[in-house]
Amino acid sequence: MVFRNRGRWWNGKKHTMRACQDSTHSESRQLSPPPPNHVTSRAAPIWICSLLSGIQVTFLARHGTGHTISPSAVPTQANIAALKSLGVRAIVAFSTVGSLREEISPGSFALPTQIIDRTKGIRPASFFEGTSIVAHASFGDPCSRKLVSWLEGRVRKALDQEGRGVKLFTDKCIVCMEGPQFSTRAESIMYRQWGGDLINMSVLPEAKLAREAELSYVLIATATDYDAWRLHSDTVTAAEVFETLKANADTSRLVAATVLDELHAAVSASGEIFLLEQVGSMSFSIMPRSEKQDPEHRKKLAYVLPEYFSGEQLN
């Protein structure tokens, strides 16, 4: 969901649209912005509605309307580029995940702060690919700490308010696998040995592209299964994931509603500082200018990073 206040936006999850229905005006519209020239796919539809507080809330379904796009085919470049072009500053992504730890039982929520990349290079992971401009974004802390810290209290409040005993786990490491098949038992056990706590197919390249676009990023994860590492249990199936997801839908909506309710007050009290953690970070990542920069490449990158690539190249 994307929240807009004073021209800033924040992105997250499609199914949580129901969480804000009681707090919104009837106005709603759908956008699907065209991608920049170097992005071949189009962004998923972007829905925008207005809260009574005046904040606009936008939802983007990464897998498309009706969940029709496989994880490896999600148009993440186009999605992130579209959000940046609309003025997005911070992304809150929701995802179901497998649990690699006994204590993180199905139904639990988690805010991971580290990522292990097990994708296979199929998904475009940089806006700079195929250009004459090289950049090395800092990615030591892939999830934005200030936003994670702000969300932790709100998610915990929602779970306590519901009273079902749903737990929130923080500072966890998530493994992003290619999919679409689930893990083998050997892989699942290996990920545990590596220090992984959760596993999904969505957090990358979202987090990497968000970092390049100078957008804060955080993932709110809902555990639906134990993957395949428990040798005495059956391995995960899509049916199991869906059943847990349905059972937890009300909790997810409550979490989203709590975040929506408190966003306006937080921004009013402290400004947008906790949403703008990554602004300016790419100034330390783009390699020094050279005469070999193609003007067309600069024009394409200006769609995502106008702060650095708009106008003529400076010598």
Please tell me whether 105 is known to bind a ligand.
no
Residue 166: pLDDT above 70?
yes
63 is an annotated ligand-binding site residue: yes
Known catalytic residues? 225, 227
- pLDDT tens digits for range 270-293: 667 788 899 999 999 998 866 678
Which amino acid is residue 94, in one-letter code?
A: F
38 annotated to a ligand binding site: no
Confidence check: pLDDT of 10 > 50: no
Q: Is there a binding annotation on residue 141?
A: no
Q: Does 227 score more than 50 pLDDT?
A: yes
Question: Domain 2-282 is of which CATH architecture?
Answer: 3-Layer(aba) Sandwich (3.40)
**Is 202 annotated in some ligand binding site?**
yes
pLDDT band at 7 (very low <50, low <70, confident <90, very high): very low
Q: Which of 66-70, 95-99, 122-126, 150-154 has the lowest mean pLDDT?
A: 66-70
Residue 294 annotated in ligand binding = no
Q: Is 117 marked as a binding-site residue?
A: no
The domain limits of the chain are 2-282
Model confidence, pTM: 0.87
